[in-house]
Structure 1
């Protein structure tokens, strides 16, 4: 049965983590049937956590915080300052071509060492990270603008709408047009 309203804990004796887990569970159960309710659940969780960027919507929105910022060194990984600089560089250059060699220069490492260290630190390849960032930006633009998918693809550093569609389908198992329609009507 689908819930029509967000249920808050009945008593003050409930601890916050179970309530958050319940909200996330309600969101997950309703994501395909009622995206609007899912958004309300996630907005409530966001409010409780104090950060809208901390929310992951199952498979429909790429996790914004996909690269963790380690507080200590990962053996064989990047130092926190290197990871921070690489993330900032990727965000700045997302609308253009990003080469591994350029990322390695930003991190002050050789390209081969950089790729191994990035994977050790984040669990994904630099290319995979860049693709997820491009898809995340495309999702934001699809929700926030009325630009065509072709324009959005170019703004995300992709060659054309077909390229966007291929990557989007690979990551989210859905076309950008279908995703946009689902989330715009919610």
Structure 2
């Protein structure tokens, strides 16, 4: 005669075995690449003020950036609080139904980089800044050397991708 489990214990034991068996063969959770798209604000009015608006060409460039990123699944848009950066970020944010999150232009690049990576792991994020901040932010994100940006350069598009393994790649192109 074969030993048998009492019926009242059979179902819980079978359910536990099925659960454990399913866990043993389950693949690890999918990990995603984190992507940061960084741009300097578009062309600004040369009015001598500390907070100028964009020129008509700058507004056109901001719209072109939004069109270029229309199919990119952005999770967030960051910009300094200056009018020129807010106006550059606004069309893209609007196109993705996102608010523009302001960050302090004087925040150290390493601190901003750490915060962005912590808050947006696996996301794609647009960051709009200035000629004297974007290269430093990109360098902090990728832990690599990034060329300085001249005061007349408005069309550089920098992309930093950080893989699940923590390795970063830097791509630079033009808008």
Q: Shorter-chain TM-score category?
A: under 0.3
Higher helix fraction (1 or 2): 1
Higher strand fraction (1 or 2): 2
Q: Which has the higher contact order (CA 8 A, sep 6+)?
A: 2
